[in-house]
Amino acid sequence: MPINITMPALSPTMTEGTLAKWLKAEGDSVESGDVIAEIETDKATMEVEAVDEGIIGKIIVAEGTENVPVNDVIAILLEEGETANDIGDAPAAAPAPVPAEQKAEAPAAAETPKAATPATQSHSGARIFASPLARRLAEEKGLDLSNVKGSGPHGRIVKADIENAKAQPKGANTQAGATATVYDDPDVKTNVFGMAYKEIPNNNIRKVVAKRLSESKQTVPHFYLTVECQLDTLLAARKELNDKANGAFKLSVNDFVIKATAMALKAYPAANVSWTDDAIQQYLKADISVAVSTPTGLITPIIKAAEDKGLRDISSEMKDLAGRAREGKLKPEEFQGGTFSVSNLGMFGVKEFAAIINPPQGCILAIGAGEQRPVVINGEIKIKTVMNCTLSVDHRCVDGAVGAEYLQIFKQYIENPVSMLV
């Protein structure tokens, strides 16, 4: 009997997802464990494996379909000896996504039931392809379609093209000496100011990140504290440890930062907290969320109980998590949760920045680049490698003095890295 393949729940909070890509086609054989599709959730893009073996008899939901509810049938799997005739009354295949422009034009086109208008010819004799709505609007506005660049499929002129052309200065395309850049790429559009652009659709990850950060900035009372940390001793210790490793591992400055962040939270747990309306939650372990940039957006894999792990273990675990994050292969429990976040932009040469808190966490530490600066020590000017570290704090659960005390402890660990090893 045919087996329904349904939209899986890939996280405890997932209610719907986007069927990003089918990796199997109708008629393909699959075995248990084969990856058959990629599902984009509100957190990550994840692979879906087949539970049963058989043949893909029918794909119900086309790739690219958004907002597919959990447990909805997305495909039919046929067992050995079965054919498409055995599927019966399966749900109708979901239509491929239709561009919003086409959807908007359909009712308007239906309002004027007239004979199909042949394709217009430009002054050069070339055919001009335009939607019925675009032709009507162009006629009403007195626009010459030969002067309009189409942004629809295969260069077809659509409603938006007419609206954009309407806002241009009269005769902008025909004045002597005036030139307009013509793009062969049908994905290139032009705004009302004549500026060319391409649209990059927002995936679910970026939508959720944008929503969460907007809510955080608008509802969480942020304040910021910055300290300067001298790195010379840390850099020397790092070099010595890496030299002795003989290639077995390679520690980064960020590994020391993660360790120092966790050790400071262990020493001063008042900063390892979250706000709720009923109580302040103070965590017993330092689960450090580390911001990682991926092709699909920002994600924060977690080094759990980082205060109990050595630098080598932190380094190895971070490399593994970051690599799988960029491939979209993290498990939900590897990026959901965390008690405190670290965001490091020092490798990009950024000297100082203030990060937005990742709710429900109470703090996030922003790490800038280390650079040589003049420092006064015992009345003498010395050249030291200095790194700016800015703590963003939720004032509801962490007071200014608490944040300042935490930063001082963190600074001590950074400037005396040996203390993290004992």
- Alpha-carbon separation of residue 372 from 5, 231, 232 (angstroms): 59, 10, 10
End-to-end alpha-carbon separation of the chain, Å? 63
Strands 380-394 and 222-230, sheet pairing: antiparallel
- Alpha-carbon separation of residue 20 from 5, 32, 44, 79, 364 (angstroms): 16, 21, 11, 25, 32
Nearest Cα to 12, choosing from 336, 373, 378, 309? 336
Biggest CA pair distance of the chain: 91
395 has catalytic annotation: yes
Phi, psi of 79 (to 5 degrees): -85, 170
DSSP labels for 42-84?
Answer: SS-EEEEE-SS-EEEEEE-S-TTEEEEETT-EEEEEEPTT--G
DSSP 117: P
Nearest Cα to 265, choosing from 70, 410, 382? 410
Catalytic member of 123, 154, 222, 395: 395
The 73-78 sheet, strands edge to edge: 3-6, 73-78, 54-59, 29-30
Q: Are 365 and 376 in contact (CB under 8 A)?
A: no
User: For 409, how many CA atoms within 13 A lie in the half-sphere containing its CB?
Assistant: 20
DSSP helix/strand/coil, 419: helix
DSSP helix/strand/coil, 205: helix
Residues forming the active site: 395
